[in-house]
Amino acid sequence: MSVTLEHPPGRRCRDISTIALTATGSPVPVHGRLTGPEGAPTILVLGGISSGRNVADTANDNGWWRQQAGPGKPIDTNRHRILSFDFIGADIHPFPTTQDQARAILALADAADIRDLAIVGSSYGGMIGLALAELAPERVRELVVISAADRSSEMAKAWRSIQRDTVEMALRLGDGKAGLDLARRLAMTTYRTPDEFEARFADPDPDSRDAGGVATYLAARGEAWADTVDPQRFLALSRSMDEHRVEVGGLKCRVTYIAALEDRLVPADQIADAAKRTPRSRLITLSSVFGHDAFLKEDAIIGATLDEIFGS
């Protein structure tokens, strides 16, 4: 293992790298981050496919979940240590499974001498959390799964197939970035809800950020996404979500599922069904105009649940 210290020791944040082995024995480089005091209980934090190791704020970048993770936050880095990592993308052909991602995490945990951990996983990260709890039950103390289930719904697969076809067609035409742009625009319509779009864009304040209308909003989101994502990485992670499957009936740890009633990408009834089949589980439902993105936008209720679990 190689370990590089990205920030001064006082910030208690270091990046780590190691090599993981896939199910077929192929080596894959893995890059992660530890944030928080040495020796503190470890919480693995995983998000959607656009997230990575930058969970909490650092001197160099903003954390994608800074409202929930950091000093004094529900996942308090004064009392807990966060393990995070960059998902494996196109390094595994044709795509990494959620079990491959779980093996990569275990390799990082071994390299950092972490024997066991709790997990908070949202969206794709929730899928990986379930896969890890199935793969290595002795390593997982507790699991929180937000906006994710044991498999993908057929409607979610349908939406993602259109996104992949768009990107692949754009690649054939020599403009993968344009394909990513359009794929992200479509994705945003599955993450959010009709009620949110109506409230924001039907009659926007001319001085507000939404004055340009829904098409302008989607174009901005698509352009920003396309500027930061590799097309092959997107295709690999999209297929990974489609093929995700975990037998939750065999899980050993306590699992808290959190579902948004308005989530169309991972419907609440699908999460409820997974919870029923999970031996030591509970289900928390919330109503959110943000749908699948509730884990990013509903700070209060998500934070209260995390504080209940990790605050004592």
263, 281, 288, 293: which one is catalytic? Answer: 263
Please list the pLDDT of the chain residue by residue as tens digits (312 residues): 344 434 434 448 999 999 998 888 889 999 999 999 999 999 999 999 999 999 998 888 899 999 999 999 999 999 999 999 999 998 888 999 999 999 999 999 999 999 999 999 999 999 999 999 999 999 999 999 999 999 999 999 999 999 999 999 999 999 999 999 999 999 999 999 999 999 999 988 887 888 789 999 999 999 999 999 999 999 999 999 999 999 999 999 999 999 999 999 999 999 999 999 999 999 999 999 999 999 999 999 999 999 999 986
Could you confirm whether 263 is annotated as catalytic?
Answer: yes
HEC sequence for 86-150? CCCCCCCCCCCCHHHHHHHHHHHHHHCCCCCEEEEEECHHHHHHHHHHHHCHHHEEEEEEECCCC
CA 201 to chain centre: 27
Q: How far is CA 230 from CA 86, 185, 191, 236, in A?
A: 14, 16, 21, 10
31, 80, 244, 292: which one is catalytic? Answer: 292
Give the number of other Cβ atoms within 10 Å of residue 120's Cβ: 32
Place domain 2-151+245-310 in its CATH homologous superfamily: Alpha/Beta hydrolase fold, catalytic domain (3.40.50.1820)
* Residue for token pair 């997230």: 51
CATH architecture of the domain 154-241 equals: Orthogonal Bundle (1.10)
SS3 14: strand
Say what the pLDDT of residue 312 is: 61
Phi and psi torsions of 141, nearest 5°: -80, -45
Say what the pLDDT of residue 48 is: 97
CA–CA separation, 288 vs 262, rounded Å? 6
Say what the pLDDT of residue 203 is: 86
Could you confirm whether 230 is annotated as catalytic?
Answer: no
Pairing of strands 27-35, 81-85: antiparallel
Beta bridge partners of 70: 76
84, 122, 123, 152: which one is catalytic? Answer: 123
Burial of 5 from C-beta contacts in 10 A (0-12 / 13-18 / 19+): exposed
Burial of 155 from C-beta contacts in 10 A (0-12 / 13-18 / 19+): middle
CA–CA separation, 190 vs 36, rounded Å? 35
CA–CA separation, 5 vs 175, rounded Å? 37
* Residue for token pair 């795509």: 95
Pairing of strands 117-122, 140-146: parallel
- Listed in order, the ranges of the chain carrying CATH 1.10.1740.110 are 154-241
CA–CA separation, 44 vs 34, rounded Å? 9
Could you confirm whether 123 is annotated as catalytic?
Answer: yes
Quote the Cα angle for 111-4-37, to 5°.
70
Q: Tell me 25's DSSP state.
A: -
